[in-house]
Amino acid sequence: MKKTLFIILFFGFFGWANAQEQYSFQFDSTSLEQVIITIENSSNLKFYYQSSWIDSLHYTGKFVDAELSQVVETVFENFDIYIYQDSNKVYLTKGTRIIDQPLISQRSDSENAKAGAKGLIFSQDYNEESNFDNDRIIEIGSRSKMSSSGYASLVGYVTDEKGEGIIGALVYTQEPVVAATTDINGFYSLQLPNGRHTIFIQHAGMEDTYRRVVLLSDGKLDIDLKQDVIALQELLVESERSANIRNIEMGVRKINVEDAKSVPIVLGERDVMKVATTVAGVQSLGEGAAGFNVRGGKSDQNLILFNGAPVYNASHFMGFFSVFNSDVIDDLEVFKSSIPARFGGRLSSVFDIAGKKADQDEFQASAGFSPVTSRISTEIPVIQGKAGLTLGGRTTYSNWILKQIKNATFRENRASFSDFVVQYDHQLDSTNSLTFSTYLSTDKLRLSSDSLLSFSDIRYRNTISSINWNRLISPNFVMDLNGYYSRYAYLLENDELELSAFKQDFSINDWGLNADFNYYGNGDKIYSFGVGSKSYLINPGSKTPVGENSQIIPVDLNKKRGRESFVYGGVEFDPKPNLKVSIAGRYVMYHAIGKQDVLLYDPLAPKNIGSVTDTLSFDQGKFIKTYHGPEYRMSLRYTLTANSSVKFSLNSNRQYLHTLSNSASLSPTDTWTLSDYHLKPQSAQQASLGFYTNLFGNQLEVSAESYYKRIRNLLDFKVGAEFLLNENVETVALQGPGKSYGFEFSLKKRAGKLNGWVNYTYSRSFIRLDGEYNEEIINRGEYYPTNYDKPHNINLIANYKLTKRISFSYNLNYSTGRPVTFPTAAYDFSGVEVLHYSDRNTFRIPDYLRMDIGINLDEGHRLKKFTHSYWSFSVYNLLGRDNPYSVFFDLRDGEVSGYKLVIFGSPVPTLSFNFRF
């Protein structure tokens, strides 16, 4: 049995070997450098650091007969300098303490120690070996200091060509498998058996490299990485390697922007959000559908955050593109079961998107062109090393294309979108940083309407601004303050008929303030707590006449207001070495706020306009209804072996915001509404259990998760419900219990020539509507599948790197067709043939199957080339399969014909050109 040793870099742990001696020092505004020299002179400690970190720092303090460890600890806890000590060596690092990488297992047991001194050879042997860069054998430490334990520490910095530390680089040996990732300064530490090793270093965008060493005793090895000339193409080795095992959260998936590169692209746009929907448990609705369903949840149950601010419509072109330009996204985290307590307000998931922090030292730009869109983004250093500005923009030229199409009598049609991101990051000082970001996306559609009653113009826009202040109150106490404003609005306009010309609008405004605190306590305890409040202002719609002759009566629905406030607290700790527990509670208070006139209905009749008995008037600012309650978030992680763990989580959520939509997808004209006097909040409780293991030296991640979710007051609607300009939504809304359960299996290979992931999801989702009156009872009051119940789902994404310049990508997507209502009978009524439909959602549209391929070709391979560019060619829906998006029926002359709506029903090839400099 071969034991695997894992040493993960961690700080704050002091194992002072010879700290019995007592020391006294007095410092009075002494420069930190002088402090270090003083300590070095009076002890056997040796400090390793970069002088630029400490040259401006001073320390005042007094020690009397203190232990050396205490002195060092006390001195440095005042600065954002972290210490790592290894016998008499003290390594200083600068930046945030890495706390999410606790020791998994440290089995320096005797058996392993005996197996140490691996391949130890005499110097004359290896001197004869080749002398080239990588192959040169580096002797570390000295034979005289060789430890009897058979182990030694290898530490050092991984830097780029300019000498700057690389964060998150993976430093590892294969035999035994020992791995570490570099911290914010590029610092790493490995505990290895003495002897000969090959140290491998990998990092995205850098050339893979290795060093051959002979480790004799503790020592230092700095490694500089060369930038990979085909960096755009480079496979990513993430710092999160093995994080899936160690992290306590389950149902979390971090989508790196780099991941998007391994997925064939659609219409020339890399799309991080689209990649996110290929994660196990997330189901997209197929092309043309905005929104997605997570673990049997409705599409409005997903919270999408951009730098902390909610995004209400995350898609352009009604779902063909996501609203985010992937070039200006740092990363995207998907939480689908153990949603951290700082998030709330949605039942199913959180998509947390972080905007790109600009490079503060060097100007960078990237751009891409395809037949449909073009995009550009730049990173501009504002203050060297302190502040940077990211600017990104994207637009379409589809209008131009529409005009070019010959024989097009659709010349009236227009469709275009654009989006812009500005993000400014400023490191005020060593403990304070400020981020300001703003985001704007606009879509404009003009359709020559088929029915004169349909809308001829649709415009919709997201406007989002946020400010984040991150403060290191003390080295182990972090505060995050976030303020935001988010608005989603659309405007419909029809001016084709002079007398009936009108405009109709809708908007949701949301602003809030959150304070989140993290305190890293003794041991491994992490305390998180915070408080926040958000306000909603919804204009459910107003209709105004357009032009002098229009006879449209203006309609202006009362604005809806609500406030959602919360406080939360939690702790994460390790009661046992292989057990980690996270417990958090959250209390949410929601007020529906006037001004509003609330209709009261006859309790003995279904709610509709005919059964109104009275009206309650609430003045401006008055509370109409208050809902409040606790939410809990609990997770457990138990490590079975160094490479596998079991996790369990239990959590609950409440949701006060709902979309009014009959369809499975999100439409730009769907309106959002708030819980109010009649509409109750939805709430969900979810239990999940998962097993995670990494095989072949973390090369292959395997996970299996299952979940069961119970939902209260899930929303569905009466047959043929109408929402636009409906002041009394309660007359068409139905609420009832729901349940979802499922199983997710996922395999992911991160590195190698062939990499990618495959997952299978089994997921069911049901709702029961059993009201008192016929129109409130659906399917006899039994549980029936929701519109988005798609039991089987398979996603496969694979990337094969043929040469350094050419790589292939492949994507396969399969899912069961979603439930629909089929006609089961026909009849004549008033000269019209009418279809009678089955119970709701008893049939399914045909299964969805799509295959895409992509080829990426890097242009140059020259080292000194100014720009890096690549061509990418992809074919979407290679099989040209007619995947129905929806089906509908037509009855003519006694015959029922079925039709299916197919989007991208044939292969769609796209060629795009991308570059960065």
Partner 1 sequence: MRSTLALYCLLFSLISCVKPFDFKTEDAAPIVVVEATITDELKTQEVHLSYSRSVNTDESNSITNANVFIESGAGDRFLFNETDSGYYSDIEFAAQVGETYKLFVNTNTTQYQSSWQAALEAPEIENVYLRYIERPSETLNRNEEGMQVFIDAEQSSTEFFRVTWDETYEIRVPFPSGLDYLGPGNWIAREEQVGTCYNSDHSKEIITGTSTSNTSARLIELPVRYISFETDMLRNKYSIEVTLYAIDRETHEFYKSLKEVNQSGGSLFDTQQGAVLGNVNAVGDESEIVLGYFEVASVKKKRVFFTWDELDVPASRPSYRYSCTANEIIDTTPDRIDGLMNSSRRLITVGTMPPTASIGPAECTDCTSFSSSQKPDFWQ
AA letter at 161 = E
Buried b (16+ CB within 10 A) or exposed e, 744-763: bbbbbbbbeeebbbbbbbeb
**Least CB distance to partner 1 at residue 902 (A):** 5
Cα Rg of the chain (Å, integer): 30
49 near 39, Cβ under 8 Å?
A: no
User: Count of CB atoms within 10 A of residue 866's CB?
Assistant: 8
Pair type for strands 89-94 and 46-48: parallel
What's 299's DSSP letter? G
Interface stretch with partner 1, choices 59-67, 118-126, 395-403, 588-596 (CB under 8 A)? 395-403
CB closer to partner 1, 128 vs 450: 450
Site for partner 1 in 334-393 (CB under 8 A): none
Query: Does 609 contact partner 1 by CB under 8 A?
Result: yes
Cα separations in angstroms, 727 against 227, 493, 552, 558, 671: 60, 20, 18, 8, 12
CB closer to partner 1, 132 vs 400: 400
Query: Does 879 contact partner 1 by CB under 8 A?
Result: no
- Distance, in Å, from the CA atom of 1 to the CA atom of 781, rounded to the nearest integer, reads 59
Interface stretch with partner 1, choices 54-62, 90-98, 486-494, 771-779 (CB under 8 A)? 771-779
Interface pick for partner 1 out of 272, 318, 341, 467 (rule CB under 8 A): 318
CB closer to partner 1, 2 vs 892: 892
Instruction: Give the number of residues in contact with partner 1, rule: CB under 8 A.
Output: 95
Query: Does 404 contact partner 1 by CB under 8 A?
Result: no
Query: Does 17 contact partner 1 by CB under 8 A?
Result: no
**Least CB distance to partner 1 at residue 413 (A):** 5
Query: Does 133 contact partner 1 by CB under 8 A?
Result: no
Quick one: which of 879, 798, 869 has its CA closest to 264? 798
- Distance, in Å, from the CA atom of 17 to the CA atom of 15, rounded to the nearest integer, reads 6
**3-class SS at 330?**
strand
CB closer to partner 1, 40 vs 776: 776
Pair type for strands 151-159 and 219-220: parallel
Mask of contacts with partner 1, 705-724, x by CB under 8 A? -----------xxxxxxx--
385 near 360, Cβ under 8 Å?
A: yes
Query: Does 148 contact partner 1 by CB under 8 A?
Result: no
Beta bridge partners of 227: 206
Non-local (6+) Cβ contacts of 407 within 8 A are: none
What's 777's DSSP letter? B
Phi-psi label, residue 779: left if phi above 0, alpha if psi -120 to 50, beta otherwise: left
Cα separations in angstroms, 913 against 52, 151, 155, 259, 263: 41, 51, 42, 18, 16
Query: Does 890 contact partner 1 by CB under 8 A?
Result: yes
User: Count of CB atoms within 10 A of residue 673's CB?
Assistant: 23
Interface pick for partner 1 out of 122, 132, 829, 866 (rule CB under 8 A): 829
Query: Does 849 contact partner 1 by CB under 8 A?
Result: no
Query: Does 140 contact partner 1 by CB under 8 A?
Result: no
Site for partner 1 in 515-544 (CB under 8 A): 543
Q: What stretches of 332-474 show up as alpha helix (H) in DSSP?
A: 398-404
Interface pick for partner 1 out of 177, 391, 402, 537 (rule CB under 8 A): 402
Interface stretch with partner 1, choices 469-477, 545-553, 651-659, 804-812 (CB under 8 A)? 545-553
Task: Answer positive or negative: Cα dihedral of 539, 543, 546, 549.
Answer: negative
336 near 740, Cβ under 8 Å?
A: no
Q: Which helix (H) or strand (E) holds 71?
A: helix 68-76
Interface stretch with partner 1, choices 186-194, 752-760, 761-769, 884-892 (CB under 8 A)? 884-892
Interface stretch with partner 1, choices 292-300, 404-412, 483-491, 631-639 (CB under 8 A)? 404-412
Query: Does 862 contact partner 1 by CB under 8 A?
Result: no
CB closer to partner 1, 660 vs 797: 660
**Least CB distance to partner 1 at residue 737 (A):** 19
- Distance, in Å, from the CA atom of 801 to the CA atom of 234, rounded to the nearest integer, reads 9
Pair type for strands 151-159 and 137-140: unpaired
851 near 880, Cβ under 8 Å?
A: no
Query: Does 727 contact partner 1 by CB under 8 A?
Result: no
Interface pick for partner 1 out of 33, 814, 908, 915 (rule CB under 8 A): 908
Interface pick for partner 1 out of 29, 110, 404, 409 (rule CB under 8 A): 409
Interface stretch with partner 1, choices 82-90, 108-116, 166-174, 397-405 (CB under 8 A)? 397-405
Interface stretch with partner 1, choices 504-512, 637-645, 749-757, 895-903 (CB under 8 A)? 895-903
Task: Answer positive or negative: Cα dihedral of 216, 220, 224, 225.
Answer: positive
| Side-chain-facing half-sphere of 534: CA atoms under 13 Å | 26
Non-local (6+) Cβ contacts of 469 within 8 A are: 432, 433, 434, 435, 479, 480, 481, 482
Query: Does 873 contact partner 1 by CB under 8 A?
Result: no
Site for partner 1 in 611-670 (CB under 8 A): 661-663, 665, 667, 669-670
**Backbone phi, psi, residue 246, to 5°:** -85, -35
Site for partner 1 in 495-514 (CB under 8 A): 497, 499-500
Interface pick for partner 1 out of 523, 575, 610, 630 (rule CB under 8 A): 610
CB closer to partner 1, 42 vs 779: 779
Interface pick for partner 1 out of 513, 838, 857, 859 (rule CB under 8 A): 838
Mask of contacts with partner 1, 787-826, x by CB under 8 A? ---------------------------------xxxxxxx
CB closer to partner 1, 433 vs 671: 671
How far from chain centre, in Å, is Cα 408? Answer: 41
Phi-psi label, residue 698: left if phi above 0, alpha if psi -120 to 50, beta otherwise: left
Query: Does 209 contact partner 1 by CB under 8 A?
Result: no
Interface pick for partner 1 out of 621, 830, 863, 864 (rule CB under 8 A): 830
Interface stretch with partner 1, choices 168-176, 549-557, 580-588, 849-857 (CB under 8 A)? 549-557
Query: Does 481 contact partner 1 by CB under 8 A?
Result: no
Query: Does 406 contact partner 1 by CB under 8 A?
Result: no
Interface pick for partner 1 out of 32, 81, 190, 552 (rule CB under 8 A): 552
Interface pick for partner 1 out of 495, 853, 900, 915 (rule CB under 8 A): 900
Cα separations in angstroms, 82 against 29, 166, 664: 20, 17, 51
Pair type for strands 579-593 and 868-876: unpaired
Site for partner 1 in 276-315 (CB under 8 A): 288-289
Site for partner 1 in 421-450 (CB under 8 A): 445, 447-450
Query: Does 18 contact partner 1 by CB under 8 A?
Result: no
**Least CB distance to partner 1 at residue 665 (A):** 7
Query: Does 911 contact partner 1 by CB under 8 A?
Result: no
